[in-house]
Structure 1
Amino acid sequence: MTATPAQPYSPAQPHSSSAPRTHSALRDTLTLLALPLAAALALPAAFAGGGTRRWFGGRAENQRAEAQAAKDAAAAAFYELDTAQRDLRISIETITAVDDSPAARRAVSDFEALGRRIDEASHQYINAVDAHDLDRDDLEASVAARARTELTAAKDELGRVKQDLDRFADGLGPLLGKAETQLARLAPAVERARQGLLAASNALDAVRQSGLKADDLAARLASLGPELTKLNQGAGAHGVPQTLERAERVAREAEAVRVEAERLPEKAAEIDHRLVSLRTRAQALTTRAGQVEPVLSELRRRFSAACWQDLQQVPDQAVENVRQAELKLTEARAARDAQRWPDATALLSTVRALLNSTDESVSAAGDRLRRLNAVQKDPQQEIDRTRFAIRDAQRLAMTGRNTPDPRHARPLDESVARLDRAIGTLEGRHPDYWHFLTETEAVRQAVARVVAQIRDERGAGH
């Protein structure tokens, strides 16, 4: 509302137009006391005649009082609506500061439409007040009655708009609650971001005092400087949702820097330990790789070529892997001395992978000889182990059935035939024991897949 009406009539404060009447009455009274009795007795007749308005009573005065009451009621309705509109504008501004959703934009549009209705009702009220001077001495009863009618109509319209405004305010509850929640989170979130940056900076200072550089962490912390500037500029410049998201992100990244900085001395000690441990392991593998050649010699002497040909490159490959591992260890030591922690960690991971591969290949030669010795001495143990797995699967396939499911019986029958063929390879002057071992292992794996299939199907059916 932009216009402000005249102050409502208050009986406790007489209007200025009543002052002359009061002074005139006092003067006439004093004159009456001074006149002779006959003249005084004749005076009331003079007051009763003429066109002067009566002071008290009469239809005009009643209409004036009713019009004044209507004016007071309209003024009260006007100010009540104005106060509600002001309060609601604060709520709308709270929502728009936080929320840019379609629902929020619709609320703003609806509030503007209500504002236009409020302006129309206010103009109707102000026009009614300005159109009638209820303090005129010569106010006619018909004029007072018309004033009362127009003022009452203005009051009723103000009341109807106030009811619509109240219903609109009630509907804003969810949007306003969400906005107030975000605003309540804003200040603590910004403060957490500031405290997080301070804690990260203090942690970096402590690390540097211990002799560690932590340049990468310092760079990450410095990159948050512009974000802190925007936080200090406030939500008014960048919006509440954006400021809230920025504060949470800054706090999260600052916390990560702080944690890594505090862990840096531990990481340096861990890298030192891994350097020593992996170098010791590389030296041990060098010794073990030298033992592969005698194992291969025995394999060549006692078993067919198929049992050892795939192991021929193990000694040379082991030596090359250990050499590469030692070179990477040297690079890792240089990276650690330069405090390039990510580089040092990556190089040590490469060294570990090389040594693991070498360990497996060196162990494979000795494991091959052990298994071939066992099967050459007693192949029946491997045969019995495999047959037991097949029979166990066959019993499972027949459980609760008169005939097995072809989907289960077929692979089990094929496994029996495959085992028989593998046993057949043991005949002859130079049995291929390694082929026999790989075949029996493959048969057991096929049987295990059938067992898993049966159990899955029964489990689903159950």
Structure 2
Amino acid sequence: MTATPQQPYSPSMPRGRRRPRAAPRRGPRSTAARDTLTLVALPLIAALALPAAFTGGGTRRWFGGRAESQRAEAQAAKDAAAAAFYELDTAQRDLRISIETIAAVDDSPAARRAAADFQALGLRIDEASHRYIQAVDAHDLDRDDLEASAAARARTELTTAKDELDRVKKDLDRFTEGLGPLLGKAETQLARLAPAVERARQSLLAATTALDTVRDAGLRADDLAARLAALAPELTRLNQGAGQHGVPQTLERAERVAREAGTIRAEAERLPERAAEIDHRLVSLRTRAEALTTRSEQVEAILSELRRRFTLACWQDLQHVPEQADETVRQAEAKLREARAARDAQRWADATALLSTARALLNSTDEAVSAAGDRLRRLNAVQKDPQAEIDRTRFAIRDAQRLAMAGRNTPDPRHARPLDDSVARLDRAVAGLEGRHPDYWHFLTETEAVRRTVARVVTLIREERGAGAGH
């Protein structure tokens, strides 16, 4: 049996299988067929080899659609949880700054309660953050062999962690909104802090400048310098800042320093004028003392006339006026000498106080000396025409009686009784003028007392009627 030529191998044919007999082919054509077959087979081999080339070196294997979908959903849940965690962390940091601001300024029960509530809220934030971190650490979404069920669990846990973070964030936002009044008050005080401290520094500088100016003019102003030096520790505390001493305390200190330094500056600026005023008062009071010495010498002549023309009761209380006037004038002159010494020593406060004492002594002397002359004048007038004093007093009584009866059929006993007593008292005073030596001074004091009583009744009536009209 003659052997037939073997057919070329084709990948689509099983090995060992032979094709049916055919006519022999020429050599050149058989060669071309083999080349064509080779060219067709190469792309197929290359295509089969590509996946192996790209998956080499430990890269992730390609899985089916469901596993990759679960991985993508889990990754999306992880990203959303991370965003929620970041938002909560940022909000907590901002709120902590607000709480610290309030605590630095406000020590009220509301501020302390806000700090405690923030601390309790911080515990919830820590718990929610811990759950989120546990969920992230428990699932590696980049694993090559991540199964769909594992990816689903990761998505569920991460979504739960995100929801908890969102809930805490909402509570945090509500808490932040409730802090509005406290935070506004704290920020207002903080806004006042720097300007207040600066005003205190500028006030101290202005006081120092004013003090230097008066010293250059030859005025020592030692008391002002001592007061200014006493503010130095306060300036040190201001420079140390509110962080060490507290915002409210620093604000109060700054305002006090500014106020006291402003007072020192004003007094220093007024010091030259004050010195001139003290000099003027020294001269004026010395002149007045000299004048009162001259007037007190005339009191003896007035007393002599009173003794000669009127009864003892009209001048007895005045007989010691000359001695008393001399004594008070001497005391005043001594105080003036002390004031001059204080002025020369530039003890301005002492000089001012001594001048005030001297003035009071001279005033009392002036009143006593004037009382003697006034007594003689009034006694002369009533001795000449007592009826004028009587008519003046009766007119006051009748005017009060008309007022008491206005709008009434009968007067109020509280008003009528003192008015009736005043009429009787005036009648007794007038009767006392009869006789050879009437006590004119007693008469004058009685009529004055009657007019005072009548004036009180008139005031009472008007107040009661004014109150009634108001109702």
**TM-score (norm. length: structure 1):** 0.89
Counterpart for residue 312 of structure 1: 319
CA displacement 1:301-332 (0-9 Å, x = unmatched)? 11111111011001111111111111111111
1:154 to 158, 161, 165: 161
- Counterparts in 2 of 1:43-192, with a 5 A limit? 55=62, 57-192=64-199
**Pair 1:243–1:35, CA change in 2 (3 A):** farther
Tell me which of 287, 293, 310 is aligned to 2:294. Answer: 287
2:392 maps to 1:385: yes
User: Counterparts of 1:177-326 in structure 2 under 5 Å?
Assistant: 177-326=184-333
Q: How far does residue 133 in structure 1 lie from its aligned partner after superposition? A: 1.1
CA distance in 1, matches of 2:44, 2:170: 65
Give the residue type in structure 2 aligned to 1:213: R
Shift of 1:55: 2.3
Aligned partner of residue 290 in structure 1, secondary structure: helix
Q: Give a deviation string over 1:351-392, Cα, whole Å, max 9, x none.
A: 111111111111111111111111111111111111111111
Task: State the distance in 2 between where 1:245 and 1:436 align.
Answer: 64
Amino acid paired to 1:227? E
CA–CA separation in structure 2 for the residues paired with 1:190 and 1:336:
37
**Partner SS state of residue 146, structure 2:** coil
Of 389, 411, 427, which aligns to 1:420?
427
Question: Structure 2 counterpart of 1:313, which letter?
Answer: H
Query: How far is 1:420 from its partner?
Result: 0.5
Distance apart, 1:58 and its partner CA: 2.0
Shift of 1:119: 1.0
**Structure 1 residues 410 and 334 mapped into 2: Cα distance closer, same or farther (>3 Å)?**
same
Query: In the TM superposition, what is the alpha-carbon distance from 1:57 to its structure 2 partner?
Result: 4.4
For structure 1, list consecutive stretches of 5 or more residues without a partner in the other structure: 1-32
Query: Structure 1 389/195 Cα, relative in aligned 2: closer, same or farther at 3 Å?
Result: same
User: Is contact 2:81-2:132 (8 Å) kept?
Assistant: yes
Preserved CA contact (<8 Å) 2:61 2:144: no
Deviation at 1:104, TM superposition (A): 1.2
Specify the alignment match of 1:27 in structure 2: none
Q: How far off is 1:40 after superposition?
A: 7.0
Q: Any gaps of 5 or more consecutive residues in structure 2?
A: 1-38, 54-58
Amino acid at match of 1:330: R
Number of aligned positions between the proteins: 426
CA drift at 1:97: 1.4
Q: Which amino acid aligns with 2:332?
A: A
Distance 1:386 1:40, change over 3 A: closer
Q: Which amino acid aligns with 2:234?
A: E
Q: 1:35 to 1:76 in 2, by over 3 A?
A: farther
| CA RMSD of superposed structures (Å) | 2.0
Letter matched to residue 345 of structure 1: T
In 2, distance between residues paired with 1:385 and 1:330? 48
Tell me how far apart the structure 1 counterparts of residues 46 and 211 of structure 2 sit (CA, whole Å).
107
The percent of aligned pairs where both chains have the same amino acid is 84
Give 1:35 shift: 5.9
> So what's the TM-score if we normalise by structure 2?
0.87
